Structure 1
Amino acid sequence: MQCISCGASILADDKFCEECGTPLTASKPPTAIDKCEKCGAAIDTEGYCCQCGFRQEPQVRDWLEVIINSQLAGVSDRGLKHHHNEDFLALQQLNSSQPNILVVCDGVSSSEKPELAAQTAAESTCLALANAWKTAENPDSAIKSAFATALANICNITYTKSVNLEPPSTTIVAAIVQKGIATIGWLGDSRAYWISANNSQQLTQDDSWLAEVVAAGKMSEIEARHSPKSHAITRWLGADALEDAVPSIVKFTIPGSGYLILCSDGLWNYTLDAAHLANLIQRSHNKDAISISRTLVEFARNRGGHDNITVAVLCS
């Protein structure tokens, strides 16, 4: 086994990496506040700045956990560099015989009120999908209508128009899972993965400049990643994307035991591919949904945490 942070060899029962000190079991959330927002000095265990004495109260959304049960849970974390968490997630299980619903949203930082756009989209999409199931709407049309509802709600967010900021916007990926079939819809570069011992794969394709130029053969992926446009998205939910807000949809038949992972780019930017995610999960001491979510978030934080990090997990 290897440390998820530095790659050093570790033993199965190790609690910390002897090389870099990284905790190897993510049994509790990491500290949300890392440095004083006034002077940049360290924060003590009670939340006070060691240099100027200022106390910064953590925002509720800096670390958000949603636990439905041992099979369905998720975490959203501010990360280490952003001042606010602009991601959001919503999860629901109607009952033991009815669908699981997972939604992850990543607010567009160049827009106004991205955190509110993400929360509005996640909550309204989750609610709309739950209501669609009750009326026996098929999953494909349910996702399309849920995204349309989310878009309408985002467009109703009041904001001050500015030449420097776009209207409230967010990426979104959502899944409704019933009878062994996951129907997944998305706009933007938040992703869905299937992770299992023998069949790990990325289920969505990013709506991004990078993905489009690589698919068109204009650049290699390595070349495109070095471009300043590499993180530019081409589709999203927002008032400035009304004509192109119809989600891409894919159906995936769950082959057996494994994990459906929905996440924002704050996680997948640090991974190589689906197999890398599988290796990270395999190293987790606990295999329930919340433990895996915490492990993946902690991995991204240990790699730099340059963005907000959101992970939703459904174990099957």
Structure 2
Amino acid sequence: MLTPQTEVEGRYRVISSQVWLDTQPASSLPVPQAIPQELLPYQYLSPLRLHIPVVYGLCSTAAGTVVLLENVPLEGAGRLLPSLDQALATAKPLRQVYWFWQMLQLWEPLDRLGVAASLLVPDNLRVEGGLLRLRELYAGLGGDWPLGAGLDLPEPRYQGTLDRPDLADLGHLWLTWMPHVHPEIRTSLINLAQQMQDTGASIATLAPDLNDLLLGLTADPPLRIQALGLTDTGPNHRHNEDACYPLPRDLQNRNIPPDSQLIPHVALVCDGIGGHEGGEVASQLAVRSLKLQVQALLSEILQQEQSLSPDLVMEQLAASVRVVNNLISVQNDVQGRENRQRMATTLVMAVHLQQPLPQGEGNSHELYVVHVGDSRAYWITPHYCQRLTVDDDVACREVRMGRGFYRQVLQRPDAGSLTQALGARHGEDLYLQVRRFILDEDGVLLLCSDGLSDNGWVERSWNGSIDAILSGAQSLERSAHDWLDLANQRNGHDNVSVVLLRCQVSPSYGGSLEQVAVQQLEEEPVITSIMSVPVAGDLEPATSMALVRPLTPSAKRAGGGWRIAALTLLGLGLVGLVGLIIVRQLDYFQNPPPDTAPPDTTESPVPSPLVD
């Protein structure tokens, strides 16, 4: 076991057991000739990086090849976040059910790649607020090691699946946790866990009952939201191709449709592509059209006698966005725009949905985030900042196709080039990311264009005013201006837009949204003729993230296996900022586990369908 302050390969410094510091984060990492097969599930599952780590790189040591992971469930000091079974006993019923819901939603994508066992190792399940996070990936059950352990062995320990688990195994694990579950929900969860044991049980048959239980718990306490957006041209541009909603002028119309039905339940940020006569038109057209589409959808949902399932809501939101996409696409076709000449826009949209519960039990609340391009959504509390979206750019595409590790492909000159945008192609060819979240704590939802998010400035700066915003000591308007100022001073290369949603579930909440001063904004332009302007193609690639969470300990299970060690990389070296990376346990090479049966190779992971 390496001791703290030990230097590894002239680059990494050991901070604690299994936590290393990359002292040269700006330097390129060694590139393997081919990604080992057993690490491909990390690649294919990268669109789920909110829950799952990603591979940082490989490090060759005298003891063997070490796998380094980032985006792992660690706290800032390099400690593991609490395990799910540890946190259950003190969590409220809503959070408990939300954790179970996330496990159920993760089962199918992990099972397709033969790594559903990752959800069956209790010590592998970590929680950050309401979010479920995995420490690493496992291919099977029994005495096997996590993916990546023993890469130097002649026979890979993972070639597809080992003892492939099923939903009955998940149900059995849930039953072991029932003594720690709140009595209010215990009977319902026991029934669900027992249904998992039945032949023919599936996610489709289990999800409706669990969703009904989840929605019923969201009504108390109710979620209250205040929203405000600002946009700025930036120091180096004459025209603003960004558009967002709601602006201060929209708040003045909060009693007039459609704003009366949308504020504060809908927030939008669009970053146009194609110049003043292209991107500016596309982003503003998208905002105006989406307001009408979502207004119609919300009105329709309110008329339903029963709550719509999350899948149906996500389908409807995606359909609304595709309608808007096609409006922009038709404008491109009319103007004869082809390829990089087509005007387009990114999109990040948040929709707070309330659905009536049966027997007059109030309204449920859910948050849906729709995303295309590289505008982003962040959920920020006093304790953490979670990025909810994954960019649609070349770097992320290469990772999910298994063609390179993220830090490796960031070195490509086109790493930041967009692969998805509204209007760039027809709706049937558009891939949309739509996710549902349940909010059970006070926090701020931040939507922004890349004029702010580039170079990791949100991750570096999120905790500066969050307490003041939540207490009401600082208005949303003041905070939004602060984010704009930060973007203009630190990035300054682009237009910037920010929308903040202050979300409250706690009984007491400091202050109310201050009256926003009226701003004289230019009237939105009417589309007449559109000049052919080159699309800004290669976007500036992101540098090392300001706060890189990481970890990849190998676990010792009860009765056999290996204990967690932590190997953490503190501070990625971005202007002294702190990041974390975890690596594979080195003890493996000195004390390898007993041989296991050869894995089943009849199935091999198939690349994610999220291809461009």
Do they fold alike, i.e. is TM over 0.5? yes
Question: In structure 2, what is the equivalent of residue 209 of structure 1?
Answer: 394
Report the 3-state secondary structure (helix = DSSP H, G, I; strand = E; otherwise coil) of the residue aligned with 1:237.
coil
Q: CA deviation at 1:181?
A: 1.9
Q: Which amino acid aligns with 1:200?
A: C
2:462 to 269, 273, 278: 278
Equivalent residues of 2:227, 2:263 under 8 A apart: no
TM-score, normalization by structure 2: 0.37
Report the 3-state secondary structure (helix = DSSP H, G, I; strand = E; otherwise coil) of the residue aligned with 1:228.
coil
Question: In structure 1, what is the equivalent of residue 228 of structure 2?
Answer: 73
Report the 3-state secondary structure (helix = DSSP H, G, I; strand = E; otherwise coil) of the residue aligned with 1:240.
coil
Question: In structure 1, what is the equivalent of residue 328 of structure 2?
Answer: 154
Question: In structure 2, what is the equivalent of residue 117 of structure 1?
Answer: 282
* Structure 1 residues 165 and 217: CA distance shift in structure 2, 3 A: closer
1:103 to 254, 260, 268: 268
Q: CA deviation at 1:281?
A: 3.4
* Structure 1 residues 244 and 289: CA distance shift in structure 2, 3 A: farther
Residue correspondences, number: 247
Q: Which amino acid aligns with 2:476?
A: A
Question: In structure 1, what is the equivalent of residue 237 of structure 2?
Answer: 82
1:315 to 2:516 alignment: no
Equivalent residues of 2:374, 2:393 under 8 A apart: yes
CA distance, structure 1, for counterparts of residue 242 and residue 262 of structure 2: 29
Question: In structure 2, what is the equivalent of residue 44 of structure 1?
Answer: none
Equivalent residues of 2:269, 2:497 under 8 A apart: yes
CA distance, structure 2, for counterparts of residue 232 and residue 278 of structure 1: 26
Q: CA deviation at 1:210?
A: 1.3
Q: CA deviation at 1:173?
A: 1.1
Q: Which amino acid aligns with 2:300?
A: T
* Structure 1 residues 272 and 79: CA distance shift in structure 2, 3 A: closer
2:479 to 288, 292, 298: 292
Report the 3-state secondary structure (helix = DSSP H, G, I; strand = E; otherwise coil) of the residue aligned with 1:205.
coil
Structure 1's consecutive aligned runs of 4 or more residues displaced over 4 angstroms after TM superposition are 92-99, 162-165, 283-286
Q: Which amino acid aligns with 1:298?
A: D
Q: Deviations over 1:68-107 (max 9, x none)?
A: x992101111112223111111237766998610111111
Equivalent residues of 1:70, 1:289 under 8 A apart: no
Question: In structure 1, what is the equivalent of residue 294 of structure 2?
Answer: 129
CA distance, structure 2, for counterparts of residue 170 and residue 217 of structure 1: 27
Q: Deviations over 1:216-243 (max 9, x none)?
A: 5544444433322122111111153433
Equivalent residues of 1:99, 1:176 under 8 A apart: no
Q: Which amino acid aligns with 1:153?
A: L
* Structure 1 residues 284 and 252: CA distance shift in structure 2, 3 A: same
Q: Deviations over 1:123-172 (max 9, x none)?
A: 21122112211111753233112202211321343664356842221111
2:452 to 267, 271, 277: 267
* Structure 1 residues 233 and 306: CA distance shift in structure 2, 3 A: same
Superposition RMSD in Å: 3.0
1:197 to 2:378 alignment: no
Question: In structure 2, what is the equivalent of residue 41 of structure 1?
Answer: none
Question: In structure 1, what is the equivalent of residue 70 of structure 2?
Answer: none
Question: In structure 1, what is the equivalent of residue 492 of structure 2?
Answer: 305
- Structure 2 counterparts to residues 233-272 of structure 1, below 5 A: 233-271=418-456
CA distance, structure 2, for counterparts of residue 164 and residue 182 of structure 1: 34
* Structure 1 residues 96 and 234: CA distance shift in structure 2, 3 A: closer
CA distance, structure 2, for counterparts of residue 273 and residue 84 of structure 1: 24
* Structure 1 residues 283 and 77: CA distance shift in structure 2, 3 A: farther
Q: CA deviation at 1:292?
A: 1.8
* Structure 1 residues 180 and 197: CA distance shift in structure 2, 3 A: farther
Q: CA deviation at 1:176?
A: 0.5
Question: In structure 2, what is the equivalent of residue 145 of structure 1?
Answer: 319
Structure 1 unaligned segments of length 5 or more: list them: 1-68
Q: Which amino acid aligns with 1:121?
A: A
CA distance, structure 2, for counterparts of residue 262 and residue 243 of structure 1: 26
Q: CA deviation at 1:205?
A: 1.1
Equivalent residues of 1:124, 1:146 under 8 A apart: no
CA distance, structure 2, for counterparts of residue 97 and residue 278 of structure 1: 27
Structure 2 unaligned segments of length 5 or more: list them: 1-223, 354-363, 504-612
Equivalent residues of 1:175, 1:184 under 8 A apart: yes
Equivalent residues of 1:71, 1:288 under 8 A apart: no
* Structure 1 residues 107 and 98: CA distance shift in structure 2, 3 A: closer
CA distance, structure 2, for counterparts of residue 183 and residue 135 of structure 1: 16
CA distance, structure 1, for counterparts of residue 291 and residue 461 of structure 2: 25
- Structure 2 counterparts to residues 175-186 of structure 1, below 5 A: 175-178=350-353, 179-186=364-371
Report the 3-state secondary structure (helix = DSSP H, G, I; strand = E; otherwise coil) of the residue aligned with 1:153.
helix
Question: In structure 2, what is the equivalent of residue 64 of structure 1?
Answer: none
Report the 3-state secondary structure (helix = DSSP H, G, I; strand = E; otherwise coil) of the residue aligned with 2:281.
helix
Report the 3-state secondary structure (helix = DSSP H, G, I; strand = E; otherwise coil) of the residue aligned with 2:297.
helix
Q: CA deviation at 1:312?
A: 0.7
Q: Deviations over 1:19-54 (max 9, x none)?
A: xxxxxxxxxxxxxxxxxxxxxxxxxxxxxxxxxxxx
Higher helix share: 2
TM-score, normalization by structure 1: 0.69
* Structure 1 residues 296 and 145: CA distance shift in structure 2, 3 A: same
CA distance, structure 1, for counterparts of residue 276 and residue 401 of structure 2: 28
CA distance, structure 2, for counterparts of residue 97 and residue 90 of structure 1: 10
Q: Which amino acid aligns with 1:305?
A: G
CA distance, structure 2, for counterparts of residue 150 and residue 164 of structure 1: 19
Q: Deviations over 1:229-271 (max 9, x none)?
A: 1221111111534332242111111121110111111110032
